[in-house]
Amino acid sequence: MMNEIFPEEPSEGWLIIYIDDITVCSKTCEEGMYRLSRLFTKIQSVDMKISLKKCHFGFKELKALGHVVSGLSLGIDKNKVAAVLLKPMPQNKKEIQSFLGFSGYYRQHIKDFASIARPLYKLCDKDTVFEMTVDRVKAFESLREALTTAPLLLMPDFKLPFKLYIDASGDGLGAALHQVQIINDKPVEGPICFISRQIKPTEARYGASQMECLCLVWALEKLNYFLEGCVFEVITDCTAVKSLLNMKTPNRHMLRWQIAIQEYRGNMTIVHKDGNIHKNADGLSRWPLPNNID
């Protein structure tokens, strides 16, 4: 129904509809007033009513879908987290799954989410007997704490370059997308999002160099929305990734990956850093998310 009432506005990028909630976005007060006028005219034309007590006008940030959204960042709504903190320790798998569903919704905010949550996900396996062992209790408490201390995610500025940290291990693939922005007149590097996944059985046979190249291809595909057409650095602790684009005699996997990343060739710079200082993505790959939740 809402899409029928507003067939054009969402595609223009300033009107966001979620069921019966409407968000109007603008860069200036004048632009906001004009768009609100358009919105109210359309609402009036279909004899639709709005609830003034639920309306907020002129705010620089607002709460939506469990997040605090502003023009600069995306944060977790602490009121949502507070309700979870009041709940007791889960007593069965269903309660564990509910908790993981809630916390997993915010996993893009939490570095090393997979590492923290891994014992709880293993507890949800069909053949695992429910028992809150020491490591599972620790995981539960650590994840609750991580939810309360999760960093703000920067809103991406597509005019500025990105930094993509990647790392692969025998357990999985991990990547962290960062960007340096000017905040309070100072350059600050902050996260845009964190991603990770387990390796597939067929990938377990890959060597370290192949695994790292796979990680790059996967991360580019996963984060294409951010990176397509943008300048960015790839930071890795594997020299093979740096030579992937110019490899003379690649095997069939490497050749396929070469082709997959050609579209980024002009905008992507690959930088090698020693593993001891390459920390951003490392933890994500050592303890990756199960494939069925990422």
Q: What confidence score (pLDDT) does residue 228 get?
A: 94
Q: Report residue 74 as tokens.
A: 């995306």
Look up residue 3 and give its two tokens: 């899409």
Rounded (10°) CA dihedral 85, 91, 92, 96: 20
Its CATH architecture, for the domain 85-149, is 2-Layer Sandwich (3.30)
Query: If you write DSSP's letter for every residue of 103-141 in order, what string do you get?
Result: HHHTGGG-TTHHHHHHHHHHHTSTTPPP---HHHHHHHH
- What letter would DSSP give residue 202? G
Q: What is the pLDDT of residue 166?
A: 92
| Amino acid of residue 197 | R
User: Strand pairing partners for 61?
Assistant: 70
The tokens describing 13, both together, are: 């990028």
- Say whether pTM exceeds 0.85: no
Q: Are 178 and 111 in contact (CB under 8 A)?
A: no
The neighbour count for residue 13, using CB atoms within 10 Å, is 8
Q: Is 270 helix (H, G, I), strand (E, B) or coil?
A: strand
Q: How far apart are CA 84 and CA 82, in angstroms?
A: 5
Q: Which CATH superfamily does the domain covering 153-293 fall into?
A: Ribonuclease H-like superfamily/Ribonuclease H (3.30.420.10)
Q: Find tokens 């600050």 and name the residue.
A: 188
10-residue stretch averages of pLDDT, the chain, 294 residues long? 79 84 87 92 89 86 88 89 87 95 91 79 92 95 90 93 90 87 91 86 88 92 95 92 77 85 91 67 44 44
- Beta strand 153-154 pairing with 61-64: unpaired
3-state DSSP assignment of residue 267:
coil
- d(C-alpha 168, C-alpha 284), whole Å: 9
Confidence at residue 283, expressed as pLDDT on a 0 to 100 scale: 43
Query: Which residue ranges make up each domain of the chain?
Result: 2-58, 85-149, 153-293
Q: State residue 290's pLDDT score.
A: 46
Contact (CB, 8 A) for 269 and 162: no
